[in-house]
Amino acid sequence: MNTAVELMRKEQQRKLENYRVLNKTAVRGKILFTGSSLMEMFPVEEFLQEEGSDQIIYNRGIGGFVTDDMLRNMNEQIFDLEPSAIFINIGTNDIGDSSRTFPEVLSHMLRNYEEILRQISERLPDTKVFTMAYYPVCSTGKENDPAFINRNNQNLPAANKAVKELAEKMGYCFIDVNDGLTDEQGMLKESLTIDGIHMYPEGYRIVWENLKPYLYALR
């Protein structure tokens, strides 16, 4: 294991331990955001404060997580909180694996995603579940970057379609939160992204507005 990966894993373990502690005193039956870094970086607490909302949303995203990681840590990321509603964004790092073809990574991700949803259905049968669309990317000038070999704006819509079909199969809701994120070429707007994949708060504010109808319905 190289140093960068080792450091990332140590940081992930630190976050998991932090969540274990926080989950002990968290209020049960609230809203949960969970997934990888695309969820971890969502500044939901700030948005709630700005609006003076009394909704409680817990964020249990962990940067670098793939679906295998979530399956190993379902208690910390989901079950400990006994949420009444879950918004999930997981799988983009599976898709970003450049060591395998897109059909291979998509197939693996979907098998794991189905198992995640199956466990939620079994353990939390009354919980509302919303699977979120993967955000578009901006690969301008990064065409040879391994991070964009599979995770590109040709494959991500196919992945979104597959997750939508999976959600419907499991009786859950799929939300396309991407309206307003793209430029004329269908790429994530450069002004909204840090590195072509992750977004600044301005990007999340657009996603937040797209999520509001679903959040308001949970009041």
Stated pTM of the model: 0.96
Judged against a pLDDT cut of 80, whether residue 188 lies above it is answered with: yes
Judged against a pLDDT cut of 90, whether residue 61 lies above it is answered with: yes
Quote the pLDDT of residue 204. Answer: 98
Nearest residue to 137 (alpha-carbon basis) of 119, 121, 155, 124: 155
Quote the pLDDT of residue 142. Answer: 87
Q: Pick the residue with more confidence: 78 or 142?
A: 78
pLDDT band with cut points at 50, 70 and 90 for residue 38? very high
Residues written for the chain: 219
d(CA 91, CA 162): 12
CATH number of the domain enclosing 198: 3.40.50.1110
Q: Which domain holds residue 167?
A: 3-216
Residues 82-137: tens digit of each pLDDT: 999 999 999 999 999 999 999 999 999 999 999 999 999 999 999 999 999 999 99
Q: CB count, 10 Å around CB of 34?
A: 27
Q: What is the number of structural domains in the chain?
A: 1
Distance from CA of residue 218 to its chain's centroid? 19
